[in-house]
Amino acid sequence: MKDVSVLIGGKAGDGINSAGSLVAYLLNHIGYNIYLYFEYPSLIRGGHNFAIVRGSEKSIGTCWNEVDFLLALNQETIERHKDKCTRETVIISNADLVKAPGQGILVNEILKAENAPEIMRNSAIIGGFAKAAGIEWAVVTTVFQDHIPKGVDLNLKVAKRAYDQVGKVHPLMPGPNPPRTLLTGNEAIGLGLVTAGLDTYVSYPMTPSSSLLHFLAEQQEKFGITVVHPENEIAVILMALGCAYAGKRSAVGTSGGGFCLMTEGLSLAGMAELPIVLVVSQRTGPSTGLPTYTGQSDLRFILHAGQGEYPRLIVVPGDAQESVFWSAVAMNVAWKYQIPAFILADKTLSEGTYSVDAAAIPEIKKVDPFLWPGTGQYLRYADTPNGISPLAFPGTMGAVIKVNSYAHNESGITIEDADHVKQMTKKRMRKEEGLTREMQDYPCVTVSGNPDASTALLCWGSPKGVCNEIAVILGLRVVQPLVLSPFPLVQLQNAVRGVKRLIAVEENATGQFAALAEQYGIVPDEKILRYDGRPFSPDYLIEKISEIIL
């Protein structure tokens, strides 16, 4: 099995994330699938940051505890990650700062010789790693040229000196793939939204959603979108709803705390039947919690947020590839049914980097909503058999378009009489029936691992990666719902058919999805829960499963 793990660690501000990316691109170019996990505390400089880059010939979304290479920019990295090292682990370090066995690189000497600034020290470490891993120099050149924004030549010179100092101590066999696209979960979500016609992205910064704001802001001219960062999350969702009313596809992004402020706007979207996509990336709660760590404890909140009753779509992709597809689905469904659609992510997915096989993503395009044909009197809330009223937008000749947060009649005028209230409530809820039927045509639940196994792991979101990996080893079935509302009952029932022992795996303290499934008669026998802000590792999960199974 071709599989390699590389940990790179240093202080916040040392550029660990970009160094990790360069290592990822190197492994990508020698044919490996990539997963990059980045862990950092909530501060700007100092503190300990590290990235684990894993390359494998199979598709991956998790990291094992042990690493094959340890790239240490400081002594703390060695001390903190001792437990991840074996006798075979190759340590490559900055010999000026680190006392450790292995390959010490004289970084200062190299920088001096090339008259290079301190910021290029990571290139020395990466050059040393490339040699130790037996990666050809031409690959290093290509990766640096493609991914270092400025000073490529000098960075290459620095890297080459380190490359020449180190021995080929742990050469990697090339993997099977052509180089693939590497995307973070947030980038994948952004690309899915753009594919399905996103016009305006509105967001207030909040980890771990902020990198989606940054990505779309950076790309806004190329993708032809508008990106707005208003005064708070209340303004965020209301602006997005204003855009939707005017006919522009909008999305908002936040984490749990910001979403708290959005709930009145969410309920408005439900009542006024305004389409909107909400990207909510979970972190460890409650309250401020652990801002830069992961969790899955907001499912119940997202399911029930907002006063009143109205249909909503909730998709929970488990990796970058699924994020592209399901984000596009969320946008199209929001507009078809004029409802809020959630993309529920978490820090692990949002900020993790994954290999994406673009050819394997089901084709999806922008789907136009039901539009008013332009004849007769326009009724914004026309009561139709499927509950969906044809849309028109301000500026349309002859249409008076009234949307309303109050109970209203078909033309959007406020009413309070019981018959109208009942009629319009039924109309809104009828949309959920159609939505539930339509979602049956989508792959809302996937089964992987050993599909005939009678013991199954039930997971949603980013733990899919770790569950899939250990299921192969332990011979288990993995059942992963990708849509949680409307609840994919039929597909889930089929997926768990023949299962005698169902084990829910979730990153929260109560088993929120397990409880939801139980409401629908699918009762997990066991729950394995983690709620310390760290994602499940395969080692940890195997240990917990062994306790249950044996």
Partner 1 sequence: MTRQLITDTQNTWCPGCGNFSIQHTLKNVLAGMEVEGKSLDDVVLVSGIGCHAKIVDYLNVNTFYSIHGRAIPVATGIKLANPDLTVICCSGDGDSYAEGLDHLIFAAKRNIDITVLIHNNRVYGLTTGQYTPTSPLGFKGKSTPSGTAEYPLNPIELMLASGATYVARGYTRKMDHLKKLVLEGIAHKGFAFIDMLQICATFFPVTDYYSSRVYELSDHNRTDFESACTKAREWDYNSDTKIALGTFFERSLPSFDEKMGQHRIDAAERERAIQEFLLTRI
Cα separation, 182 vs 23, in Å, equals: 12
Cα separation, 347 vs 150, in Å, equals: 29
Cα separation, 271 vs 259, in Å, equals: 18
**Closer by beta carbon to partner 1, 34 or else 60:** 34
Q: Indicate the length of the chain as a whole number.
A: 550
At its nearest, how many Å lie between partner 1 and the CB of residue 364?
12
Number of residues that bind partner 1 (CB under 8 A): 66
Spatial neighbors of 48 by CB under 8 A, at least 6 apart, are: 9, 10, 11, 12, 40, 41, 76, 77, 80
Q: Segment 250-279, which members bind partner 1 (CB under 8 A)? A: 250, 264-265, 268, 272
At its nearest, how many Å lie between partner 1 and the CB of residue 302?
20
Is there binding between residue 148 and partner 1 (CB under 8 A)? Answer: no
At its nearest, how many Å lie between partner 1 and the CB of residue 248?
4
Q: Segment 381-440, which members bind partner 1 (CB under 8 A)? A: 393-406, 408, 412-414
Q: Segment 202-241, which members bind partner 1 (CB under 8 A)? A: 202, 219-226, 228, 230-232, 234-235, 238-241
At its nearest, how many Å lie between partner 1 and the CB of residue 165?
29
Number of CB atoms found within 10 A of residue 75's CB: 14
Hey, is 370 helix, strand or coil? Answer: coil
At its nearest, how many Å lie between partner 1 and the CB of residue 275?
13
**Closer by beta carbon to partner 1, 408 or else 477:** 408
At its nearest, how many Å lie between partner 1 and the CB of residue 141?
15
Is there binding between residue 340 and partner 1 (CB under 8 A)? Answer: no
Is there binding between residue 498 and partner 1 (CB under 8 A)? Answer: no
Q: Segment 272-331, which members bind partner 1 (CB under 8 A)? A: 272
126 Cα distance to chain centroid = 27
**Closer by beta carbon to partner 1, 213 or else 241:** 241
Is there binding between residue 516 and partner 1 (CB under 8 A)? Answer: no
Instruction: Compute CA distances 193 → 252, 316, 480, whole Å.
Output: 11, 15, 22
Task: Please give the helix or strand (H or E) that residue 479 lies within, else none.
Answer: strand 477-481
Number of CB atoms found within 10 A of residue 288's CB: 11
CB 485 within 8 A of CB 314: yes
Phi, psi of 42 (to 5 degrees): -85, 75
Number of CB atoms found within 10 A of residue 147's CB: 15
CA 238-239-243 angle, to 5 degrees, is: 115
Is there binding between residue 146 and partner 1 (CB under 8 A)? Answer: yes
**What is the contact mask toward partner 1 in residues 160 to 199, using x (rule: CB under 8 A)?**
-------------------xxxxx---x---x--xx-x-x
Is there binding between residue 22 and partner 1 (CB under 8 A)? Answer: no
List interacting residues with partner 1 (CB under 8 A).
25, 28, 146, 179-183, 187, 191, 194-195, 197, 199-200, 202, 219-226, 228, 230-232, 234-235, 238-248, 250, 264-265, 268, 272, 358, 366, 393-406, 408, 412-414
